[in-house]
Structure 1
Amino acid sequence: MEFDKIRNLSDDELKTEQAKAGEQLFRIRFQKSLGNVEGIKKLRTLKLDVARIKTVARQRTLAAEQAAAPKKVNVAPAPSQRTARKKAKKA
């Protein structure tokens, strides 16, 4: 499946596609262990599809988290109390 098609799927569709691809991977691996060499070329494409689906799902969760959380503003750290005490002792 192409990356553009995967991006256009909804979250539920992504989950079902991932489940389908995972099931197919399991079947092909099982057949491979039994000595059947049919469909081994499809193994790589299925792995790539699962990785692409997981990537899109992760990108969506990160985007949702980033939208929900406000941006943190960098603030200078507070001055050290240790140096303030040393200066007070010298004076």
Structure 2
Amino acid sequence: MGRRRTDLLIEWPIDEAQGLLGPLQRVVLELKIVHKSLEATLHEGLAQTAQYADHCGADEAHLIVFDRRPGIPWDDKIWQRTEQVGSRTVGVWGM
């Protein structure tokens, strides 16, 4: 929506199994739709995701890219990899 906020921040106690409220684990999920090109979407999305994760002290960061372009086979739309943005590792998922 152009507000420069993360799409989803998940927080939960790490030590939940023992019934104790421990430190929070934070995961940032940023969602993008391919508009111009996949490369441009990844470039912008990776920087934005890493910035959000650094800002909130997230343990994990993931960028999920939806490719709705016609004519692209599903085998080319579905993929997963990791990218390094500075010192942050970002999981990147194509759908």
Same fold (TM over 0.5): no
| Larger radius of gyration between Structure 1 and Structure 2 | 1
TM-score using structure 1 length: 0.29
Higher normalized strand content (fraction of residues)? 2
Higher normalized helix content (fraction of residues)? 1
